[in-house]
Structure 1
Amino acid sequence: MPTLTIGSLAELEAHTGQELGVSGYHTITQAQIDQFAAATLDFQWIHTDAARAETESPFKATIAHGYLTVSLLPYLWQQIVAIENLKMQVNYEIENLRFNQAVTVNSAVRLRAKMLSVANLRGIAKTRIEVTLEIENVKKPAYTGVVTFLYHFQEA
Structure 2
Amino acid sequence: MTKMISKAEFLNSVGTVYGPGEWFKVDQDRINKFAEATDDFQFIHVDPERAAKETPFGTTIAHGFLTLSLLAGLVPKIRPNVENTQMGINYGIDKLRFLQPVKVDSEIRVTAKVISLDEKRPGQYLTKTEVTVEIKGEDKPALIVEWLGMTFLGD
TM tier relative to shorter chain: over 0.9
The code of the aligned residue for 2:49 comes to: A
Q: Secondary structure of 1:93's match? A: strand
Between the aligned partners of 2:130 and 2:103, the Cα distance in structure 1 is 23
Matches within 5 A, 1:92-111: 92-111=91-110
- Per the alignment, residue 132 of structure 2 pairs with 132
Aligned pair partner of 2:17 in 16, 19, 22:
19
- Per the alignment, residue 37 of structure 2 pairs with 39
- Per the alignment, residue 49 of structure 1 pairs with 47
Between the aligned partners of 2:70 and 2:6, the Cα distance in structure 1 is 23
Between the two proteins, the alignment pairs up a number of residues equal to 153
Between the aligned partners of 2:109 and 2:95, the Cα distance in structure 1 is 19
The code of the aligned residue for 1:87 comes to: Q
Q: Secondary structure of 1:81's match? A: coil
Q: RMSD of the alignment, in Å?
A: 1.2
Between the aligned partners of 2:5 and 2:100, the Cα distance in structure 1 is 32
* Identical positions, percent: 40
Which structure 1 segments of 5+ residues have no match?
A: none
Question: Offset at 1:21?
Answer: 2.2
Question: Offset at 1:74?
Answer: 1.4
Between the aligned partners of 1:120 and 1:144, the Cα distance in structure 2 is 25
- Per the alignment, residue 67 of structure 2 pairs with 69
Q: Secondary structure of 2:80's match? A: strand
TM-score under structure 2 normalisation? Answer: 0.94
Give CA-to-partner distance per residue, 1:76-102, whole Å, 9 cap, x none: 111101324221111001121000000
Between the aligned partners of 2:150 and 2:91, the Cα distance in structure 1 is 6
Contact 1:13 1:117 in 2 (8 A): no
Between the aligned partners of 1:6 and 1:34, the Cα distance in structure 2 is 38
Q: Secondary structure of 2:128's match? A: strand
- Runs of 4+ with deviation above 4 angstroms: none
Give CA-to-partner distance per residue, 1:18-70, whole Å, 9 cap, x none: 21222111100000000000000000000000000111110000000000000
Contact 1:134 1:142 in 2 (8 A): yes
The code of the aligned residue for 1:116 comes to: I
The code of the aligned residue for 2:145 comes to: G
TM-score under structure 1 normalisation? Answer: 0.93
